[in-house]
Amino acid sequence: MDVDDPSPRVGGDPPRIRRLEESVVNRIAAGEVIQRPSSAVKELVENSLDAGASTVSVTVKDGGLKLIQVSDDGHGIRFEDLPILCERHTTSKLSAYEDLQTIKSMGFRGEALASMTYVGHVTVTTITEGQLHGYRVCYKDGVMENEPKPCAAVKGTQVMVENLFYNMVARRKTLQNSNDDYPKVVDFISRFAVHHINVNFSCRKHGANRADVHSSSTSSRLDAIRNVYGASVVRDLIEIEVSDEDAGDAVFKMDGYISNANYVAKKITMILFINDRLVDCTSLKRAIEFVYSATLPQASKPFIYMSINLPSEHVDVNIHPTKKEVSLLNQERIIETIKNTIEEKLRNSNTTRIFQTQAVNSSALTQVYTQKDKGTDVKIASGMKSQKTPVSQMVRTDPRNPSGRLHTYWHGQSSNLEKKSDLVSVRNVVRSRRNPKDAGDLSSRHELLMEIDSHYHPGLLEVIKNCTYVGLADEIFALIQHNTHLYLVNVVNVSKELMYQQALCRFGNFNAIQLSEPAPLQELLLMALKDDELIGDENEEEKLEIAEVNSKILKENAEMINEYFSIHVDQDGNLTRLPVVLDQYTPDMDRLPEFVLTMGNDVTWDDEKECFRTTAAAIGNFYALHPPILPNPSGSGVQFYKKNKDCMASGEHVDSTDEDDIDHELLAEAETAWSQREWTIQHVLFPSMRLFLKPPKSMATDGTFVQIASLEKLYKIFERC
């Protein structure tokens, strides 16, 4: 018998013990840490919060099995740390085991990212403060698949996990057959948004027009709950605080909100944070449910938010692979104290129960009581029979028949016309609270947005919303498919229009790109004028004068363009910040001088509406996806990167395979620029177009969209063949 055979034996030698391969060990560990897509989202969001992020955006496709994308504006990842980023047990949170006694960060094991690389395809894009560009790198089985590639990036980190559990067939099928995991993701983000009130959270399905969770930073916990769970929940909440500072053996503080006797829900909602860590505590949850069921039988499914703070040495965070649970010192005593406080609060609130009442028609009652006092009977006039109400009007049998609806029996109530003016005023107040900047006297900006809404092409909008990206046809055009039609799309034109519309939509609410070094306006203007063919090289004085005038104009209007468009010019005439028009997209900085010249030269400063239009147009042109300045190196374009320029100028044939004659450094820069543009077109431009672009009617006739093929016609051609 083979001694290596691991099958059970009867009366033979015991099976041999083997050391598992490292890849098997890592996949087993990954299955424990990343149990389902929502587990991956939780780990990534906690990493973002540990990085000091003030904005966290989550995008999910097919419940997280096809795509999980988490973007933040935290401190980023150092370039030198990227090679070991996704190895197991690599972390910046602790260095020695003793650090666990005082750990305050949410992550510390160094297993989350590593586990994701063993069960999915992970791509990380990051940039740290002070860097001119970011880096993008892909990981598989804990190691980099390639060297980090320079790329445009916005401050922070973006982690993209694709095809989760692609190599775990049983788990993937189980998750596909079960309910979508997306509700669990929304639940996690909602809980984080309630606790971390100084962080902006958003969570949406891939391709969705609106976010399912969208919370803004606020100073009030109640406002955070209202933003996420609605005003009806906040209305029935009671503030609760518990402190046990006097006890010598246990010191803890708890603050939060619990629902009162009027709150009614089908299931319990319990949000529990211990030392800012989102955890579950089954014993505490069971104790609270018992209090509610004993005190308020009709409200046994409460809403609970609790934040408990204890000394770090009283909490053991290292008891669960996903950090879902923690162990507390004197846990029974803490739970008993919290339970008693909740019970006392609920008993006091039981005297303030609210019951729905209905107003009674007082005039009808008065008439009845008056007739009874007189001792008279109500009689029908002589010669007439008593008229009974038809049964069809007493009980509504047809939903289309208004005679059975309640409003036919109401009398003495004010009409809808009388309430209309009040309703309009309330709506205006709500709009102004929802977006304070829109409440200002900026009618010209609203007029520009109305022009976009009234001049878009419905057919093109349908194409954009439901198209499939095929690929790039050349340097300018991309191919898309809609239903059975194939279209050529001018990438420069659509990106310019998209950026223009986004500049108006994000008006006054931009995030900012901080330039690594302040850029003097006058130097930028002189660089732009140097390339201007209309002004010869001999007119240096004229160029200097134009640069001074435009620089002065921009400094005079610095406050306005900073407030509305986040273009910051300091007192010394240096450009320091630019707006983020699309998330995770940075414009080509080689075109910055041209943009500054356009702002000074082409913006109409003396008319508000035209000022906003021309500024947004300048931003749109700058942020549009123009072809890179370096020629495309693919195909015959490699000839532009020959070191021997004289042969090229004379038209002599040069062997393109001569590696020594190619400027490899310049060629690599060009390849990076063109590949980055292609990636941005597919993964940033077209998804953003589906969400935001309203194509003007002119795009149907100016060559921006051109239909080049139809499957129906192709089928007819094939049939004739």
Binned at pLDDT 50, 70 and 90, residue 68 comes out as: very high
CB 470 within 8 A of CB 479: yes
Binned at pLDDT 50, 70 and 90, residue 70 comes out as: very high
Binned at pLDDT 50, 70 and 90, residue 69 comes out as: very high
Which has more pLDDT, 659 or 708?
A: 708
Looking at residue 126, its pLDDT comes to: 93
Look up residue 531 and give its two tokens.
């390339």
Contacts of 67 (CB under 8 A, 6+ apart): 59, 60, 61, 160, 161, 162, 206
pLDDT, average across residues 570-599: 88
pLDDT > 50? residue 536: yes
Angle between helices 22-33 and 112-119 (to 10 degrees): 110
248-262: pLDDT as tens digits: 555 788 899 998 878
DSSP 322: T
Of the segments 225-229, 261-265, 427-431, 656-660, which one has the largest average pLDDT value?
225-229
- Find the DSSP H helices in 165-262: 169-177, 182-195, 221-229, 231-234
Looking at residue 389, its pLDDT comes to: 46
The domain made up of 230-347 is a member of CATH 3.30.230.10: yes
Looking at residue 510, its pLDDT comes to: 84
Burial class of 2 by CB neighbour count within 10 A (0 to 12, 13 to 18, 19+): exposed
CB 411 within 8 A of CB 363: yes
pLDDT > 50? residue 382: no
pLDDT > 90? residue 60: yes
Q: Which of 18-27, 509-518, 570-579 has the least mean pLDDT?
A: 18-27
Distance CA 596, CA 598 (A): 5
pLDDT > 60? residue 632: yes
Task: Give 22-214's CATH code, choosing from 3.30.565.10, 3.30.428.10, 3.40.50.300, 3.90.1560.10.
Answer: 3.30.565.10
pLDDT > 70? residue 153: yes
Distance CA 559, CA 544 (A): 24
pLDDT, average across residues 472-486: 87
Which among 592, 564, 566, 595 has a CA at the least distance from the CA of 578?
566
Task: List % helix, strand, coil for the chain (3-state, nearest 5).
Answer: 45, 20, 35
Percent of the chain with pLDDT over 90: 16
Looking at residue 34, its pLDDT comes to: 79
pLDDT > 70? residue 361: no
Distance CA 641, CA 649 (A): 13
Which has more pLDDT, 349 or 6?
A: 349
Looking at residue 180, its pLDDT comes to: 76
Looking at residue 571, its pLDDT comes to: 86
Burial class of 27 by CB neighbour count within 10 A (0 to 12, 13 to 18, 19+): middle
Burial class of 301 by CB neighbour count within 10 A (0 to 12, 13 to 18, 19+): middle
Place of tokens 């060629």: 667
Q: Which of 93-97, 415-419, 537-541, 681-685 has the least mean pLDDT?
A: 415-419
Binned at pLDDT 50, 70 and 90, residue 408 comes out as: very low
Q: Would you put residue 89 in left (φ > 0), alpha (ψ -120 to 50) or beta?
A: left
Binned at pLDDT 50, 70 and 90, residue 190 comes out as: very high
Q: Find the radius of gyration of the CA atoms of the chain.
A: 34
pLDDT > 50? residue 714: yes
Q: Which of 187-196, 415-424, 593-602 has the least mean pLDDT?
A: 415-424
Which has more pLDDT, 55 or 482?
A: 55
Q: Which of 22-31, 209-218, 379-388, 550-559 has the least mean pLDDT?
A: 379-388
The domain limits of the chain are 22-214, 230-347
Which among 536, 537, 555 has a CA at the least distance from the CA of 600?
555
Binned at pLDDT 50, 70 and 90, residue 695 comes out as: very high
Which has more pLDDT, 401 or 658?
A: 658
Of the segments 57-61, 368-372, 508-512, 698-702, which one has the largest average pLDDT value?
57-61
Q: Which of 129-133, 423-427, 657-661 has the least mean pLDDT?
A: 423-427
HSE, side-chain direction, 13 A CA sphere, residue 694: 15
390-401: pLDDT as tens digits: 544 444 444 444
Looking at residue 379, its pLDDT comes to: 40
Look up residue 126 and give its two tokens.
């990051």
pLDDT > 60? residue 381: no
Which has more pLDDT, 349 or 136?
A: 136
Which has more pLDDT, 106 or 547?
A: 547
DSSP 439-463: GSS-HHHHHHHHHHHHSB-HHHHHH
2-18: pLDDT as tens digits: 444 555 555 568 888 77
pLDDT, average across residues 104-128: 79
Binned at pLDDT 50, 70 and 90, residue 51 comes out as: confident
267-297: pLDDT as tens digits: 889 999 988 888 888 888 888 888 888 776 6
Pairing of strands 55-61, 200-205: parallel
DSSP 246-283: T-SS---EEEEEEE-TT---SS-EEEEEETTEE---HH
DSSP 382: T
426-448: pLDDT as tens digits: 444 444 444 444 433 478 888 89
Distance CA 568, CA 555 (A): 10
Mean residue pLDDT across the chain = 77
